[in-house]
Amino acid sequence: MEFTLMDFGLLFAIILIFIGSFIQSAIGFGLAIVTAPLLFLISPNYVPGPIVIVGLFLSIINAYKYKANVSFRGLGYAFLGRIPGSVCGGFLLYYVDSKLLSLWIGVVVLLAVAVSLLSFRIEPNNSRMTVAGFFSGLFGTSSGIGGPPMALLLQHQEANLIRANLSAFFVVSSVVSLAIQVPAGYMSLNHLYLTLPLLPASFIGYLVAMKVVDKIDKDTIRKVSLVMCSISGIAAILLALT
> pLDDT (tens digit, 9 = 90+) per residue, 105-146?
778 778 777 877 776 678 899 999 999 999 999 888 877 778
Q: Is the pLDDT of residue 44 over 90?
A: no
Average pLDDT (11-40) is 88
CB 71 within 8 A of CB 157: no
Q: Which residue has the higher pLDDT, 3 or 97?
A: 97
Distances in whole angstroms, Cα of residue 101 to Cα of each of 14, 98, 156: 27, 5, 29
Q: Is the pLDDT of residue 4 over 70?
A: no
Q: Which residue has the higher pLDDT, 148 or 84?
A: 84
pLDDT band at 2 (very low <50, low <70, confident <90, very high): low
Q: Is the pLDDT of residue 98 over 80?
A: no
Q: Is the pLDDT of residue 63 over 90?
A: yes
pLDDT band at 84 (very low <50, low <70, confident <90, very high): very high
Please give the pLDDT value at position 163.
92
190 Cβ neighbours under 8 A, 6+ residues apart? 45
* Residue 241 CB neighbours (<10 A): 10
Q: Is the pLDDT of residue 147 over 90?
A: no
Closest CA to 48 of 223, 191, 237: 191
Closest CA to 29 of 234, 236, 242, 209: 209
Q: For a pLDDT cut of 90, what percent of the chain falls above it?
A: 39
Distance CA 162, CA 160 (A): 5
- pTM of the predicted model as reported, rounded to 2 decimal places: 0.85
Q: For a pLDDT cut of 70, what percent of the chain falls above it?
A: 97
Average pLDDT (77-83) is 94
Which stretches of the chain are DSSP H helices? 5-27, 31-42, 49-65, 72-95, 98-116, 126-143, 147-153, 159-184, 189-195, 199-209, 218-241
Domain boundaries defined on the chain: 5-241
Give 172-181 pLDDT, tens digit per residue. Answer: 989 988 988 8
